[in-house]
Amino acid sequence: FLTYRHKSHASTKNLPPGTTGLPFIGESIEFLRTGQRGHPEKFIYDRMAKFSSQVFKTSLLGEPFAVVCGTAGNKFLFSNENKLVTAWWPSSVDKIFPSSLQTSAKEESKKMRKLLPGFLKPEALQRYIGIMDMIAQRHFASGWDNKDEVTVFPLAKRYTFWLACRLFVSIEDPEHVAKLADPFNVLAAGIISVPIDLPGTPFNRAIKASNLIRKELQVIIKQRKIDLAENKASPTQDILSHMLLTSDEDGQYMNEMDIADKILGLLVGGHDTASAAITFVVKYLAELPEIYDEVFKEQMEIAKSKAPGEMLNWEDIQKMRYSWNVACEVMRLAPPLQGGFREALNDFIYAGFSIPKGWKLYWSTSSTHRNPECFPKPEKFDPSRFEGNGPAPYTFVPFGGGPRMCPGKEYARLEILVFMHNVVKRFKWEKLLPDEKIIVDPMPMPAKGLPIHLHAHNG
Ligand code: HEM
C-alpha cells in the first residue's frame, strides 16, 4: 500500500521538481540529519540549488511535501491560510494533544485564536512586566547568584516555565513549579520522538505525562472557578481567569477540559522556543563582546533610572530597542522553530507547478534568514539590520506570519528582554566550551546545554 501511495504521487503531472527518496521514509532521515549536524538550512539550500529556488517536492514523515522557498513562498503560505492551505501537524502531535489548538484548524482552534489576543496582546501584557521581573530576580537568586559556572539551557527552561506557571495559572511556589516541570519535560521530549506508543517509549511516556498535567490543571481550574465566584481571585490575575470569564460569540464558555488543553498547548508552544532564544542570546553575547557592551550600556541606563526595589515596567521595555534588535538578530541566525507545516485544501498551482489536494507544505525560516538576497552577508551578526524599517516583509519570519503567526510573540519579546536585563545587570560571562557544537533536533541547541563561566559585576 505504501509503495503504491508512493508511486501514485510520482505519476501526477507537473509536480514541483525534486526527489521523494525511499518509500514511506522519504527524505525524513536526511532532513533530520542535516539538523542534527547543526545545518538544517543545508537540506533546503541543496534542493533549491538543484531543483528550483521557488518550490521543490520531497517526502517527509510518510507524506508528500512541497517545500516553498524565499519571500514569495512565505508570502504565499501566510496569505492563503484557510483559503488554499490550512494548518497541519504530524499525527504524533495529535495523539499527545488530542484537541489542542496546535493540532488543528478545527473550530476549537479558531475559537482559541479569537480568545488569545485578549490576554497576549501588548496592552494586556503590560501589567505583568513587574511580575516577570520579580520572577526573573528570584530565578537569578536561586540558580545563578554566587555561582562560578552554570549551564544555560536548563536554567533558561526553568525561567520560562516558572514565568508561564505564574502568568498562566498563578502558580509561583518553586516547589509546585518543580513538581509540574518533571512531567512537562517528559512531555516536551516526547513530542519530538518517534511516535511508537508502546510501554516505556518516550512517546508513550509523553502521552501519560500530558494526561497527568491535564488532571493537575483541572484541579487548579475547579478551584479557580470557586475562588472567582467567591471573589477570592482576580479576573485579571492570569490567563486562566481570562479563559474562564470570556465567552464566545454565542455566549458559550469553554469547559474545564478544553481550558486545560489550551493551557497545555500554550505551555508547550512557549517553552522550548523561548528557552532556545534565551540560550542563544547568552551564547552570542559571550562570543561578541562589543555587542555585549552595547546591550550592557542600554540596560544599565534603565537600571540606574530605577528606585531601589522598583520593578521593570512598560516604559523600560520601550527603551530596550538595541537589546531587542540583538535578540532578533539571534533569532535570524538561530530561529527556535525551523518552519511550519500546512496542508493543501484543494488542488492549486504554485510557481507554475501543481500542488495536489492533501499534499503537505512546508515553509522554512532558513530559506530567507540565510539568503544573501534578503540579508546581505547573512553569516555576519549585525543587529543594525533591524534599525529603521527593518528587514523587508516576509524575510524575517521567526514567528511565522499571517493568521497563524505565533500568538505568543509579544509575550516572548517581554520574557526575553526581562531576562536580558537581569542577566547583563549581574554578569559578564564566557563559554566553557569554545567549540561547543550546535544540534538542531528540532530546536537549535548547544550540544552540552551551553556551560558558561560567570563573572559577577559586584563580585
Ligand atoms: C522565541 C519564542 C517563540 C518563537 C520563535 C515562536 C515561533 C512560532 C511560530 C513560527 C509559530 C507558527 C508556526 C506556523 O506557521 O505554523 C508559532 C505558533 C504558536 N506559538 Fe509560538 N513562538 C515562540 C513563543 C511562544 C510563546 C511564548 C507562546 C505562548 C505564550 C507561543 C504559543 C504559540 C502557539 C499557541 C502557536 C500555534 C498557533 C496556531 O497554530 O494558530 N509561542 N510560534
- Centre a 10 Å sphere on the Cβ of residue 235 and count the other Cβ atoms it contains: 12
Per DSSP, 335 falls in state -
Per DSSP, 22 falls in state B
For ligand 1, say whether the CB of 51 is within 6 Å of any of its atoms.
no
Is residue 374 annotated as involved in ligand binding?
no
Q: What is the pLDDT of residue 10?
A: 44
Q: What is the ipTM of this complex?
A: 0.99
For ligand 1, say whether the CB of 406 is within 6 Å of any of its atoms.
yes
Q: What is the pLDDT of residue 305?
A: 97
Give the C-alpha separation, 231 to 254, whole Å.
20
Q: What is the pLDDT of residue 106?
A: 54
Q: Which three cell numbers stand for residue 232?
A: 477570592
Domain ranges within the chain, ordered by starting residue: 2-456
Task: Give per-10-residue mean pLDDT for the chain (459 aa).
Answer: 43 83 81 84 93 94 92 97 89 65 53 71 90 97 97 96 94 89 84 77 88 91 94 90 83 83 85 94 98 98 97 98 98 95 96 96 95 96 97 97 91 97 98 95 91 90
- 309: number of CA atoms within 13 Å, CB side? 0
Which one is the CATH code of 2-456: 1.10.630.10, 3.40.190.290, 3.40.50.11540, 3.30.420.40? 1.10.630.10
Top mutation candidate among 406, 413, 414, 440 for ligand 1, by most atoms within 8 Å of CB: 406
Query: Which are the contacts of 100, defined by CB distance < 8 A and separation ≥ 6?
Result: 93, 261, 262, 264, 265, 268
For ligand 1, say whether the CB of 35 is within 6 Å of any of its atoms.
no
Q: Are 428 and 420 in contact (CB under 8 A)?
A: no
Nearest CA, atom 20, ligand 1: 406
Q: What does the pLDDT look like over 399-418, one tens digit per residue?
A: 999 988 998 999 999 999 99
Q: Which three cell numbers stand for residue 387?
A: 534599525
Q: Could you tell me the distance, in angstroms and rounded to a whole number, from the CA of residue 412 to the centre of ligand 1?
A: 9
For ligand 1, say whether the CB of 412 is within 6 Å of any of its atoms.
yes
